[in-house]
Amino acid sequence: MSDWTHAKLSELADIRFSNVDKKIGAGEARIRLCNYMDVYGNDYITADLPFMEASATPSEIERFKVEEGDVMLTKDSETPDDIGISAVVTEPIESLVCGYHLALLKPDKARIDPIYLSKQLRTSASVRYFGQRANGSTRYGLSSAAIANLEVPLAPLPQQRRIAEILGTVDGAIEQTEALIAKQQQVKAGLMHDLFTRGLTSDGQLRPRGSERKEKFGWLPQGWRIGSLSDVTSTARQPILTGPFGADLGNDDFVEEGVPVLRIGNVQTGRIDVFDLLFVTPAKAALLERYRIRTGDLLFARQGATTGRNALASKEVDGWLINYHIIRVALDHSLCAPIFIEAAFNGEMVLRQIERDKGRGTREGINSEQLRSLELPLPRDRDEQIRIADRLLAQQRAIAAETAHLAKLRQLKQGLMQALLTPPA
């Protein structure tokens, strides 16, 4: 007989809904604020995260101060399938307060390990539970009762700690691999700076320094022009399209297997992460035909810690679907080299414009109109785009090798979570 039990979340943790906003109020104490995206984008909350500065009253600080071992949960989202994301605080962080749109959980450590709890909140069973109980039409939210009544599987406490240790070790390996990829991305960024300020001659050499000209948002190589997405997108499909919203794609449409649906976390800088997917039936996918991805489409995450995060669709995801948090740009491959266009959107000229235009709401983001209005640096000769794309592709191969290793680690983690966090039959 299994020695696992179950308990409601309210029996395992003190649950507090924060009301601390991003404003700095007169006479209030200065604090560091843990925001929605700090939790949404991280498994672990540590002192080195770039928390914003805000202020709070003494009573708010007392009730919502963040301590080592706390778990925070996103309680709002624009879609019901993307709600209830958790992160655990793994070290003391001075003056940190839990921000608005988050629930602060203070676990009873005599009954549940904080890391174990955070991992349980990220299982597919918890995701389904939260999605089914998210209320709203244009924006979805979890009630205090919905969060409190979540049934959490409980292994014996020593086993919980061992599970947390194993999953933490895998997370550490994933973090190290992500850091290595980030360093390689920095090398690529230096290469991109040279390519997009000097360009390449017909024999594949960088043009001499000093041949470039100054434009509003940066330097342009000799012989290049300022264009836009309208110069490089397809007319056979809607050029720029945001994924289905509301009743077009709801939580009840998702099934255990079928046609994959990409969501915001699947679109990473320069790559598509094909883990933690959602699925719809082929019949539902047929109704969403216009939202299908084709190889070489450029996909944008509408919100995120990195505004305008984007990646090209690979052959692997051809025919898959996007959800509301993704914008699809249908590139015309006869007019451009897709790798070049992807690089242009991660180049200094475009990033300056995105920084200028990005939203200033609860979560910063980008929309279709902003993408249409962005000025793109374009060589007049498509062959130069291809030469630059080839140079970038060589650099990307090194990144791809580490990315493949990262994918294996994520697959290992997914399997371990299923095996370790599910009560024995």
Residue-level pLDDT, tens digit, the chain, 425 residues = 579 999 999 999 999 999 999 989 988 999 999 999 999 999 999 999 999 999 999 999 999 999 999 999 999 888 887 899 999 999 999 999 999 999 999 999 999 999 999 999 999 999 999 999 999 877 899 999 999 999 999 999 999 999 999 999 999 999 999 999 989 988 888 999 999 999 999 999 999 988 888 988 889 999 999 999 999 999 999 999 999 988 899 889 999 999 999 998 899 888 898 888 999 999 999 999 999 999 999 999 987 656 678 999 999 999 999 999 999 999 999 999 999 999 999 888 998 898 887 654 444 578 899 999 999 999 998 999 999 999 998 888 888 889 889 989 999 999 999 999 999 98
Q: In terms of C-beta density within 10 A (0-12 exposed, 13-18 middle, 19 or more buried), how is residue 82 classed?
A: buried
Q: Which pLDDT belongs to residue 361?
A: 42
| Residue in 52, 53, 67, 54 with CA at minimum distance from that of residue 104 | 67
Please check whether residue 275 lies inside any domain of the structure: yes
Same domain? 60 vs 127: yes
Q: Which pLDDT belongs to residue 362?
A: 41
* CATH code assigned at 244: 3.90.220.20
pTM higher than the cut 0.85: no
Distance, in Å, from the CA atom of 343 to the CA atom of 350, rounded to the nearest integer, reads 10
Last residue of a domain, which of 152, 177, 201? 152
Compute the half-sphere exposure of residue 386: CA atoms within 13 Å on the CB side of its CA: 8
Please check whether residue 132 lies inside any domain of the structure: yes
Same domain? 212 vs 334: yes
Phi/psi of residue 171, nearest 5 degrees: -60, -40
Please check whether residue 18 lies inside any domain of the structure: yes
DSSP codes joined into one string, 6-74:
EEEHHHHEEEEE----S---TTPEEEEEE-HHHHHT-SEE-TTS-PEEEEE-HHHHHHHB--TT-EEEE
Domain assignment of residue 224, given as a range: 192-381
Last residue of a domain, which of 381, 400, 420? 381
Q: Which pLDDT belongs to residue 210?
A: 85
Same domain? 131 vs 253: no
Please check whether residue 160 lies inside any domain of the structure: no
Number of domains in the chain: 2
Please check whether residue 33 lies inside any domain of the structure: yes
Please check whether residue 172 lies inside any domain of the structure: no
